[in-house]
Amino acid sequence: MDITPSEAYKIFLEDPDSFNTSSASPAECLQVFRQASQRAASVLCITLSTKLSTLYSAACDARDMAKTELPETTIEVIDSKSATPSEGMVALAAARAAFEGKDLVAVIKAAEAIKDKVNAIVFLETLRHVYRSGRIPKIASQIGSVLNIKPILTVSGTVHFAGMAGSRKSGIERMLRMMRNKVGDRPVHVAVTHAYALEEAVKLKERIAAEFNCVEVWLSEFSPVMGYACGTGTVGIAFYGE
């Protein structure tokens, strides 16, 4: 809460094995709902995928607790079935609908529409830390790191292995080809994200803006929670076509 992601990554690089994460508790979610209820009669909470975190369950427990404490506030919880900026795009669609004055039903509909079509592709510099996500054994990640395997992952409900690259350049090229196959020349909304790789992320953003029919292109930094499992040097893109 009181340091930037870049500052957190500096700590991570000094001692990766002492870097830990944990999900928010129902009590912490309830506190957020209390704060939101002071500003609005309806609250929509959008979480990362239930297959990647227990946050959705915690938010649902908090919602049930709030029925007694906050009877005049309507609270709904949505599983984004994603993470990274693709989850953010779902939240952004909901926020835009709310800003336009739409009711909760319409806001949820806007979020669900983007949830069904948003994509996320992530390129990892190393396999060293992925075991901490529970997706592969630690020994496999260590061997992969020694062999300098650079995986490409997609996020849709859960994390899927989409391939590997021998270098960062070829990995970026493959990500862009995957995106092109999905959207073609259609107008596209894009977010570029990174874990302590700002210079490369800026170049990727500029290239996407030049090569695709972009409605908007965002640049953001992975939260340290993502860096915990992916490691620094990770870059990713989230997108959906119109």
Give dist(CA 195, CA 224) in Å, integer: 8
Question: Which CATH number do you get for residue 158?
Answer: 3.30.1180.10
- The answer to whether residue 4 is domain-embedded is no
Mean pLDDT of 216-222: 94
Are residue 234 and residue 149 in the same domain, yes or no?
yes
Closest CA relative to residue 50, chosen from 84, 87, 80: 80
End position of a domain, from candidates 86, 115, 144: 115
Are residue 72 and residue 155 in the same domain, yes or no?
no
End position of a domain, from candidates 115, 131, 148: 115
Q: What contacts 54, CB < 8 A, 6 or more positions away?
A: 23
- The answer to whether residue 126 is domain-embedded is yes
Are residue 122 and residue 177 in the same domain, yes or no?
yes
Are residue 208 and residue 157 in the same domain, yes or no?
yes
Q: Sign of the CA dihedral 53, 54, 58, 63? A: positive
Are residue 107 and residue 161 in the same domain, yes or no?
no
**DSSP structure class, residue 236:** E
Alpha-carbon distance values, 67 to 24, 60, 213, 234 (Å): 19, 11, 45, 41
pLDDT for 112 beyond 70: yes
Tokens 């795009």 belong to which residue?
89
- Domain count for the chain, please give it: 2
pLDDT for 130 beyond 70: no
Which residue type is seen at 172? I
- The answer to whether residue 145 is domain-embedded is yes
Mean pLDDT of 39-60: 94
pLDDT bucket at 20, cuts 50 / 70 / 90: confident
3-state secondary structure of 4: coil
Are residue 54 and residue 162 in the same domain, yes or no?
no
Q: Are 96 and 109 in contact (CB under 8 A)?
A: no
- The answer to whether residue 15 is domain-embedded is no
pLDDT bucket at 53, cuts 50 / 70 / 90: confident
**Mean of pLDDT over the chain:** 89
Residue 46 CB-density burial (10 A; 0-12 exposed, 13-18 middle, 19+ buried): buried
Tokens 């297959």 belong to which residue?
51
- The answer to whether residue 18 is domain-embedded is no
- pLDDT, residue 8, reads 87
Beta bridge partners of 144: none
Q: Look at the pTM and tell me if it is higher than 0.95.
A: no
3-state secondary structure of 29: helix
Are residue 216 and residue 136 in the same domain, yes or no?
yes
Are residue 67 and residue 156 in the same domain, yes or no?
no
- The answer to whether residue 8 is domain-embedded is no
pLDDT for 227 beyond 80: no
Closest CA relative to residue 130, chosen from 204, 233, 10, 219: 233
Are residue 108 and residue 124 in the same domain, yes or no?
no
Are residue 76 and residue 134 in the same domain, yes or no?
no
Alpha-carbon distance values, 127 to 140, 197, 202, 222 (Å): 8, 16, 23, 17
- The answer to whether residue 19 is domain-embedded is no
Mean pLDDT of 143-161: 74
Question: Which CATH number do you get for residue 109?
Answer: 3.40.50.10440
User: 66-94, pLDDT tens digit by residue?
Assistant: 999 999 999 999 999 988 889 999 999 99
Range of the domain at 159: 118-241
What's the 3-state SS for 166-205?
Answer: CCHHHHHHHHHHHHHHHHCCCCEEEEEEECCCHHHHHHHH
pLDDT for 141 beyond 90: no
- pLDDT, residue 43, reads 97
pLDDT for 140 beyond 70: no
- pLDDT, residue 60, reads 97
Are residue 41 and residue 61 in the same domain, yes or no?
yes
- pLDDT, residue 223, reads 85
- pLDDT, residue 159, reads 77
- pLDDT, residue 123, reads 92
**In the chain, what percentage of residues exceed pLDDT 90?**
62
Give dist(CA 47, CA 69) in Å, integer: 22
Are residue 189 and residue 212 in the same domain, yes or no?
yes
pLDDT bucket at 213, cuts 50 / 70 / 90: very high
